[in-house]
Amino acid sequence: MALLVKKFGGTSVGSINKIKNIAKNISKSKDAGHDIVIVVSAMGHSTDDLNNLAYSLSKNPPRRELDMLLSTGEQVTIALLSIALNEYGIPAISMTGSQVGIITESIHGKARILEIKTSRIEDHLAQGYVVVIAGFQGSSLSHNGSMEITTLGRGGSDTSAVALSTALGAETCEIYTDVPGVLTTDPRIVTNAKLLDAISCEEMLELASVGASVLHPRAVEIARNYGIKLYVKSSETDQQGTLLLSDIKPLKLSRGSLELTKTVNSLEILEKQVVFGLYELPDKPGIAAQIFEELSKAKINVDLIIQATREENSNDITFTIAEKFLEKTIEQCDLIISQIGGKYSITQNMTKLSIQGAGIMGRPSISAEFFDTLSKANINVRLIATSEIKVSCVINLKDIAKAIRFVGEKFKLCTNQIFINPISEKKDKPEVRGIALDKNQVQVSFRNLPDKPGVAASICLALAEANLIFDTIVQSERNSELNTKDISFTMNKEDRLNAENVLKMLIKKYPESRLEDGQAIAKVSAVGAGMAFKEGTAAKIFRALANENINIEMIATSEIRTSCIVLEKDCNNAVNAIHNYFKLNE
Ligand code: ASP
Ligand code: MG
């Protein structure tokens, strides 16, 4: 006999008939003798409807009252489902978040869960009840000690379900939704996108544009931290769906910090890295493919790859390798440069520093704080590359102790959250599991910025302070002799319009540099946990694009993700090309 937590989303409880069907199906698991906790969302679009009611009265409704209102949506569903279950002869009892004791921070509208009291649920289960719990809500104590209703943020009932599974020590958590599970990519773009049997939580977070609509990222992070077996499946069919697996050693649940309130979860350091800068390469499709194919043939495993700037018809590509590949890489670079032209530089004794955490997603202030911390420690940042849940930069090896101290303190990391040269066991994972696409983006570049500590920080801080979301920040240098660097990032088109003043102010601060706006672009990201352990994955991605004659405007990589910025007109073609190249439909 196991304890199962099942969560049903808005569409799955969207009508009385659907609620009846769920009640009927529950009787099957109950017959098998399992204890069952059900978490539900509000019916259909009722949260949107409630929200609209509030905004029809006020442009800025008090957050406390919004929580009071929105939390009623789920309260309707728990009562109806309990009534239906009882009608089918299954003893059931409904509970709100406050009745359970889902204790959250006292932040209205986006509270994180601190702790869940399990005794009332366990008592009901022991008496043979199915317990039906309202998702998306909890309660906090106000400053004077009285109880307040809070909500977890839109889509938050997934998070309630996984958090409850953690607190109750449930065997599995099943999220029932209106899609069959997690697909390799958006099926509107690739018609033969395939349902994934399994995916790691980390990969799921990096596949944000595909994954976040399926599962609340905070739910994925809790599952990852506590090793919860999480299934996402359709409530309409009997299919298995997708299993999300944790890729780290599960944390112990400690009191009062269920959802770690930290945005940054870990700091990783990779020592003894060498930076290769290839300059003045021809800017045409196929160059990146050719370079990384040569390196891969020589069995050189490339880590970060960064391409950002473009001058007239030339491009720069920078990459890092582990020191043990140095000799071989020099040989290959000589060969490559003799074939395609350009020149190259080598910098030894470098280190890669990365912060990671689901909380980084959509919060550019975190990268700004990271760079700011380094600049306060007077550490110069040589390269930068970001992905959804990770910000990496390359610094001098000599600065590493200082960097660990400053960054560790800034993000309040304990020693068990700091990993130096971590050994990973993801070798047998697929190199590409899925492909994400972010459309509607533009590229903005600052050219010829002074190469000194604090520049990246000041740009990111200014944008973050103005509440502008930017990502895929890439820093590279045109030519190290000039002692300048370029910083490029992407933002969505709307934010670019709103950024005009901030960008103008920034450019005044750096009179030697200039601002360049790129064309409409899209970000195509291939994600796979095995990527870091196979030579040549990046080469294949670039080859897939070159075969379609798609030029790559910008490249940024992390261990499990390679992002290429391409012109918006090419993006569907690009996703299809990579999907086919890696035979993801098979
Ligand atoms: N009902 C809430 C929303 O629509 C929470 C959820 O469905 O996950 O955002
Ligand atoms: Mg949802």
Domains of the chain: 3-245 (3.40.1160.10), 266-421+431-581 (3.30.2130.10)
The C-alpha atoms of residue 361 and residue 478 are separated, in whole angstroms, by 29
The model carries a pTM of 0.89
Closest CA to 474 of 493, 460, 492, 458: 460
Give 501: exposed, middle or buried? Use CB within 10 Å, 0-12, 13-18, 19+: exposed
Residues 6+ apart with CB under 8 A from 544: 577, 578, 580, 581, 582
431 near 509, Cβ under 8 Å? no
- The DSSP secondary-structure symbol of 300 reads -
| Inter-CA distances, 32 with 4, 84, 148, 161, 437, Å | 11, 20, 38, 21, 42
Burial per residue of 155-167, b for 16 or more beta-carbon CB atoms within 10 angstroms, e otherwise: bbbbbbbbbbbbb
The ligand 1 atom at the shortest distance from the C-alpha of residue 9 is 7
Amino acid letter, residue 112: R
| Separation between Cα atoms, residue 366 and residue 262, nearest integer Å | 11
Contact residues for 326 (Cβ-Cβ < 8 A; gap 6+): 274, 346, 348
Q: Rounded to an integer, what distance in angstroms lies between the CA atom of residue 571 and that of residue 553? A: 12
Structure tokens at 245: 């697996």
DSSP element (H, E) containing 322: strand 314-322
Q: Which residues pair with 384 in a beta bridge?
A: 393, 475
Distance CA 419, CA 3 (A): 34
Q: What is the DSSP code (8-state) at residue 183?
A: B
**What is the CA(496)–ligand 1 centre distance, in A?**
29
Sheet of strand 3-8, all strands in order from the earlier edge strand to the far edge: 92-95, 130-134, 35-40, 3-8, 172-177, 229-234, 242-245, 198-200
The whole-angstrom separation of Cα 261 and Cα 379 is 27
Of all atoms in ligand 1, which is nearest to the CA of residue 155? Answer: 8
Distance 155 CA to ligand 2 centre (A): 5
pLDDT of residue 486: 85
Predicted pLDDT of residue 31? 83
Give Cα separations from 97 to 12, 108, 136, 193 (angstroms): 20, 14, 8, 37
Neighbours of ion ligand 2 (CB under 5 A): 9, 155
Measured by CA distance, the residue closest to atom 4 of ligand 1 is 47
CB distance 395 to 429 below 8 Å = no
Spatial CA neighbour of 270 closest among 406, 409, 375, 424:
424
Helix (H, G, I), strand (E, B) or coil at 290: helix
Assign 29 to helix, strand or coil.
Answer: helix
Instruction: Please report the atom of ligand 1 found closest to the CA of residue 159.
Output: 8
CA atoms of 9 and 44, how far apart (whole Å): 8
Residue whose CA is at the smallest distance from ligand 1 atom 9: 154
Per-residue tokens: 176: 């029932």
Task: Give the ligand at the shortest distance from the Cα of 77.
Answer: 1
The contacts of residue 23 (CB under 8 Å, 6+ apart) are 81, 84, 85, 87, 88, 90
pLDDT number for residue 261: 59
For ligand 1, atom 5, the nearest C-alpha belongs to: 155
Amino acid 19: pLDDT: 97
Cβ atoms 68, 149 nearer than 8 A: yes
Q: Using CA positions, which residue lies closest to atom 6 of ligand 1?
A: 155
Low pLDDT (below 50) residues in the chain? none
Please tell me the predicted confidence (pLDDT) of residue 479: 58
Q: Which residues line ligand 1 (CB under 6 A)?
A: 9-10, 41-42, 47, 73, 135-136, 154-158
Select from 315, 341, 346 the least CA-distant residue to 329: 346
Distance 352 CA to ligand 2 centre (A): 36
